[in-house]
């Protein structure tokens, strides 16, 4: 929408009409957000000392246990795995998703 169109729209929406429109927009926004399921994704680096190997010990869709930096543990699902090979050698970086409740 162009700036001039927005100015014209706002000129017509004044007072109670503007308040009503904003309230309806806020309600619609909350309903839309509530309808979406919240997920958490994280990218992880695999410890160099790990003996687990992608495609041998785990694959896309598998559930894995993550040992966090501060002693927290969480079961997550592998949803993506980026394999990189360059002048520094080979590396892999999984993307993980929290498991749904229940």
pLDDT for 102: 41
- Report helix, strand or coil for 13: coil
SS3 of residue 67 by DSSP? strand
Give the pLDDT of residue 45: 74
pLDDT of the residue at 60: 94
Let me know whether 61 and 90 are in one domain: yes
20: containing domain: 3-35
Residue keyed to tokens 């993307």: 95
Q: What is the CA radius of gyration of the chain?
A: 24
Do 15 and 58 sit in the same domain of this protein?
A: no
The answer to whether residues 45 and 68 belong to one domain is yes
Cβ-based neighbour number of residue 96 at 10 Å: 21
* Residue 65 and residue 90 in one domain: yes
Q: Angle at CA 37, nearest 5°, toward 98 and 26?
A: 140
Q: Which helix (H) or strand (E) holds 63?
A: strand 63-67
Q: What is the pLDDT along the chain (102 residues), one digit of tens a residue?
A: 455 555 555 555 566 777 888 888 899 888 888 887 777 767 677 777 888 888 999 999 999 888 877 777 888 899 999 988 989 888 888 888 887 654
pLDDT of residue 51: 86
DSSP string of 82-94? EEEEETTEEEEEE
pTM for this entry: 0.55
65 alpha carbon, distance to own chain's centre: 19
Look at residue 75 in the predicted model and tell me its pLDDT: 87
């Amino acid at each position: 929408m162009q700036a001039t169109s927005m100015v014209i729209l706002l000129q017509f929406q004044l007072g109670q009409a503007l308040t009503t429109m904003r309230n309806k927009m806020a309600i619609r926004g909350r309903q839309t957000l509530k309808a979406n399921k919240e997920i958490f994704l994280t990218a992880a680096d695999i410890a160099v000392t790990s003996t687990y190997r992608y495609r041998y010990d785990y694959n896309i869709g598998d559930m894995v246990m993550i040992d966090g930096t501060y002693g927290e543990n969480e079961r997550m699902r592998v949803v993506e795995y980026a394999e990189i090979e360059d002048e520094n050698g080979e590396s892999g970086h999984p993307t993980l998703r929290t498991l749904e409740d229940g």
